[in-house]
Structure 1
Amino acid sequence: MSIASASSPTTASVMRNYLHAKDENRPFFMTRAFASDASLKMTLRTAAIAFPPHAHGREAITETLVRTFGQTYENVYTFYLDHPGEQALLEDYACDWFVAMNEKASGRVRIGCGRYDWTFQREPHLATSLVITIETMLDLPADTGPSVFGWITTLPYPWTDAERVVQTAPPIEAMAPVMQWLRRGHVTDPVGSTA
């Protein structure tokens, strides 16, 4: 593992810039996250959300993950469930993620989880490839919004851990599939936990 100087991009800053772009609908941050010829692959293990399976080049990735996505969703909070280290310059990094957002048109809440598999180039340190696996994506009624966003906004953003997500989740039964996926290998449940 290499160590970055204070002013140069790190794996963590590249990952953070990606969320500045996607979650905050700021496309210009994609130049601070992806190389111009980067590739995106989407693996969907749910039919509850649709994305093109591939995008090639930073502009195509930006169109898919920022502009088109931002037309449909708002109040997007994506959490990385592992941290690469503040000064790390990694060639490959994989971590689980968790997201909450709502649909602009209906107000319905979406909660999902999955995995990011990143590949980075050395100089400048930017992503050359991202594989996004969406394991589960839930569609919840709009009236769950206050509980969900009240909870989400108490979590450290954008890095948190699965245990904190699960242990602080509101008791909404429909969220169980996501909570179960997050628990696998990450969380030791107290006796009687129902979330």
Structure 2
Amino acid sequence: MITLQKSIETYIRAKDGNRPFLIADAFTTDAELTMQVNTQEISFPGTVKGAKAISNVLVREFAQRYENVYTFCIGEPPASGPAFSCDWLVCMSEKGTGLARAGFGQYEWLAAEDSGQVRKLRITIEEMTPLPQDRVQPILRWADALPYPWCPRERLGEGAPEIEAIERIRAALA
């Protein structure tokens, strides 16, 4: 049986690595995604239904705009049970502009008890800050050095670049 932890890790591999075929392993066929976007800096549909549509929105369309994506679940992986919530951090760059992006929010996962696959995911995006091109290298070097995809909160400060937006995001996730 697939565990919720494995489904979450598979989702992150699919999204960050532009591997849409993996979404079918992580989500039930009839899964539902809801998004609450609390920033003007990025947009997503409010609701997406079905693994195929989730794959299109969170992997295919996302990968058309972004690269060098690092998504971190902050804290420990789920121990057991079908429900799990955690904060997340993302660092990436925009393909079209070369700008850096850093953001954070929350994930709320609900797995199907019979399969461990995700049947509901709620993503809240609190911040998704675009940063100048000269910030890409330090942000991605920092992200590359963090434990992936599960990052303990206390490790977020290790090697963090001295960039106002990164300091603000780290403080929000503390």
Judge same fold: TM > 0.5, yes or no: yes
Question: Which residue number in structure 1 is paired with residue 10 of structure 2?
Answer: 17
Superimposed CA distance per residue, residues 106-139 of structure 1 (whole angstroms, 9 cap, x where no aligned partner)? 1100000010000011122110000000011111
Aligned-residue Cα RMSD (Å) equals 1.2
Distance in 1 of aligned mates of 2:40 and 2:157: 24
What TM-score do the two structures reach when normalised by structure 1?
A: 0.85
Superimposed CA distance per residue, residues 16-35 of structure 1 (whole angstroms, 9 cap, x where no aligned partner)? 00011100000111011100
Q: 1:134 aligns with which of 125, 131, 147?
A: 125
Aligned-residue offset at 1:180? 2.4
Tell me the SS of whatever aligns to 1:166: coil
Question: Which residue number in structure 1 is paired with residue 100 of structure 2?
Answer: 109
What TM-score do the two structures reach when normalised by structure 2?
A: 0.95
CA contact (8 A) 1:110 1:138 kept: yes
The residue type equivalent to 1:100 in the other structure is C
Question: Which residue number in structure 1 is paired with residue 54 of structure 2?
Answer: 61
Distance in 2 of aligned mates of 1:62 and 1:90: 24
Aligned-residue offset at 1:182? 1.3
Q: 2:154 aligns with which of 163, 182, 187?
A: 163
Distance in 1 of aligned mates of 2:87 and 2:165: 21
The residue type equivalent to 2:162 in the other structure is P
CA contact (8 A) 1:166 1:182 kept: no
Question: Which residue number in structure 2 is paired with residue 152 of structure 1?
Answer: 143
Distance in 1 of aligned mates of 2:153 and 2:97: 28
Distance in 1 of aligned mates of 2:107 and 2:3: 17
Q: Structure 1 unaligned segments of length 5 or more: list them.
A: 1-7, 184-195
Aligned-residue offset at 1:66? 0.4
The residue type equivalent to 1:17 in the other structure is T
Superimposed CA distance per residue, residues 134-183 of structure 1 (whole angstroms, 9 cap, x where no aligned partner)? 01111101111111111111101101122211343111123333122112
User: What number of residue pairs does the alignment pair up?
Assistant: 174
Q: Does 1:174 align with 2:165?
A: yes
Which structure's CA Rg is the greater one? 1
